[in-house]
């Protein structure tokens, strides 16, 4: 039974098979948990925008991106005091069902600073025939993926005795196998029915979502709460490594990037910098630390020995094992990155979409297209089954056809 369980988890971490290269995007950061998809079947040429645009639709304010699984797409948006979790047809954009709950755009206590457009920020996870959706004030809803019917709900601050963070809850749920994981400051695990399996001590919540990885045949979680990066045994909840990390601002918004099985890159904004740690199985060893990569909101990409990411508003490529800068490009704002094979798609803060090779030899972008007409586009596009989904924080969602023909 344990071998079957590990095999199923391994397939979920790979996110694809050789016979099906066009894949779903069932959770935050995609099927491979690294904001990437394979390039087979996907055409990243960005000409003929009008012909490639399948549909546009309003879905409500917020920064939640799209999850796609089983021929349906899911997201959430806020309108006039209500957030709606939506299920819709990926081909047409037509709604299939909606689940509503009352919540303020920001917070009735004024706890969420109003430097953004408000609304939901957490991407739902689709698994077990369910939609797992967490609200900005810490409620968790389990909905039927088919009908939207509420199956159960939990009040996470009460259940785990954790405070609501300054900017609201922002860490997306992670589902691997039959377990739901979340970083609430405490790293926690629950069953698909909402039963608590384990929880760690409180490392203080700070908006980052955990990353699963294998080390010596065993599943672990790399998490980045406010006190610093931790590695947790996914089965037992035992903390195997912790590294203290002090920053000027109490914000760790990006996820850990795991590469080469045992290397973990973490970074924070406001000149917090970044570092690569080696996980030994019983602790961390620091490989390098640098101020050259301060990821504020968008998690970096790893590709062929290089890290690509936004150092505040400067896109940089650095050597993953040394931290040495390879190149830097200004003028893109607080952008986001998505990898398609050997190509990165860049969404600029001003809503322009462009592609460029993932190479340390320099930044060589193609022509930019104006996809979204807004100046604070912070949500990363996603690609599922050859379709790209992108949204602006005021609520318009656009779908492009990128299927290679």
Average pLDDT over the chain reads 91
Predicted confidence at residue 114, as pLDDT, reads 60
71 or 116: whose pLDDT is higher? 71
Section 2-20 average pLDDT: 43
Section 65-84 average pLDDT: 96
- Sign of the torsion angle spanned by Cα atoms 44, 49, 52, 53: positive
Section 396-405 average pLDDT: 90
- What percent of the chain lies above the pLDDT cut of 70? 92
Residues 170-229 have pLDDT tens digits of 999 999 999 999 999 999 999 999 999 999 999 998 899 999 999 999 999 999 999 999
Predicted confidence at residue 73, as pLDDT, reads 98
Residues 257-300 have pLDDT tens digits of 999 999 999 999 988 999 999 999 999 999 999 998 999 999 99
Predicted confidence at residue 7, as pLDDT, reads 39
Given a cut of 60, whether residue 404 has pLDDT beyond it is yes
Section 340-360 average pLDDT: 96
Predicted confidence at residue 116, as pLDDT, reads 75
Given a cut of 90, whether residue 40 has pLDDT beyond it is no
Predicted confidence at residue 49, as pLDDT, reads 79
Residue 36 is encoded by which pair of tokens?
A: 């990437």
Predicted confidence at residue 115, as pLDDT, reads 67
Given a cut of 70, whether residue 39 has pLDDT beyond it is yes
Predicted confidence at residue 107, as pLDDT, reads 56
Residues 124-144 have pLDDT tens digits of 999 999 999 999 999 999 999
- What percent of the chain lies above the pLDDT cut of 90? 79
State the CATH number of the domain containing residue 331.
2.130.10.10
Please state the domain count of the chain.
1
Instruction: Name the band, by pLDDT with cuts 50, 70 and 90, for residue 2.
Output: very low
**Host domain of residue 49:** 2-401
108 or 304: whose pLDDT is higher? 304
């Amino acid at each position: 039974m344990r071998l079957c369980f590990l095999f199923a988890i391994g397939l979920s971490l790979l996110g694809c098979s050789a016979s099906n290269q066009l894949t779903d995007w069932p959770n935050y950061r995609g099927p491979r948990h690294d904001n990437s998809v394979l390039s087979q079947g996907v055409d990243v040429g960005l000409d003929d925008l009008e012909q490639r645009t399948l549909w546009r639709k309003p879905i409500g304010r917020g920064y939640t991106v799209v999850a796609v699984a089983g021929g349906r797409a899911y997201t959430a948006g806020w309108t006039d005091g209500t957030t709606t979790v939506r299920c819709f047809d990926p081909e047409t954009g037509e709604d299939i069902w909606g689940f509503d709950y009352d919540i303020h755009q920001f917070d009735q206590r004024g706890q969420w600073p109003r430097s953004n457009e408000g609304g939901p920020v957490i991407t739902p996870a689709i698994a077990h025939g369910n939609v797992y959706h967490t609200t900005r004030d810490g409620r968790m809803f389990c909905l039927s993926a088919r009908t939207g019917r509420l199956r159960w709900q939990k009040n996470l601050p009460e259940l785990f005795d954790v405070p609501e963070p300054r900017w609201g809850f922002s860490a997306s749920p992670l589902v691997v196998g039959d377990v739901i994981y979340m970083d609430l400051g405490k790293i926690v695990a629950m069953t698909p029915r909402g039963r608590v399996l384990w929880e760690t001590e409180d490392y203080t919540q700070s908006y980052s979502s955990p990353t699963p990885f294998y080390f010596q045949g065993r599943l672990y979680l790399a998490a980045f709460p406010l006190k610093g990066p931790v590695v947790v045994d996914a089965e037992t909840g035992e903390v195997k490594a912790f590294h203290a990390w002090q920053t000027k601002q109490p914000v760790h918004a990006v996820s850990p990037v795991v590469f080469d099985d045992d290397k973990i890159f973490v970074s924070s904004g406001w000149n917090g910098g970044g570092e690569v740690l080696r996980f030994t199985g019983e602790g961390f060893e620091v490989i390098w630390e640098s101020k050259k990569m301060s990821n504020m909101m968008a998690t970096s990409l790893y590709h062929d020995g290089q890290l690509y990411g936004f150092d505040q508003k400067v896109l940089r490529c650095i050597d993953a094992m040394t931290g040495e800068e390879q190149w830097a490009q200004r003028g893109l704002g607080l952008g986001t990155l998505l990898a398609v094979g050997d190509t990165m798609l860049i969404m600029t803060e001003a809503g322009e979409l462009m592609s460029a090779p993932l190479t340390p030899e320099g930044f060589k972008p193609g022509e930019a297209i104006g996809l979204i007409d807004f100046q604070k586009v912070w949500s990363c596009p996603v690609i599922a089954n050859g379709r790209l989904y992108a949204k602006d924080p005021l609520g318009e969602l656009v779908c492009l056809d990128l299927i290679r023909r």
